[in-house]
Structure 1
Amino acid sequence: MVDMQTKTLTPQIPEKPAERRAWIKFQLELRGTTFTGLAAELGVTLQAVSNTAFGRPNNRVEARLAQEIGVPQAALFSEHFDSNGQRIRALSARRRHVTPSTPTHNVEFPEAC
Structure 2
Amino acid sequence: MPTCDALARAARSEVRPLTKVAQQALRGWLNEPRKRGATALFPNTHGGKLSADGVQALLNKYVAKAREHCVTLRSKRVSPHVLRHSAAMELLQSIVRSSPYGWAMRRWKRR
Q: TM-score, normalised by structure 1?
A: 0.29
Larger RCO (CA within 8 A; separation ≥ 6): 1
- Identify, as 1 or 2, the structure richer in helix: 2
- Identify, as 1 or 2, the structure richer in strand: 2
Q: TM-score, normalised by structure 2?
A: 0.30
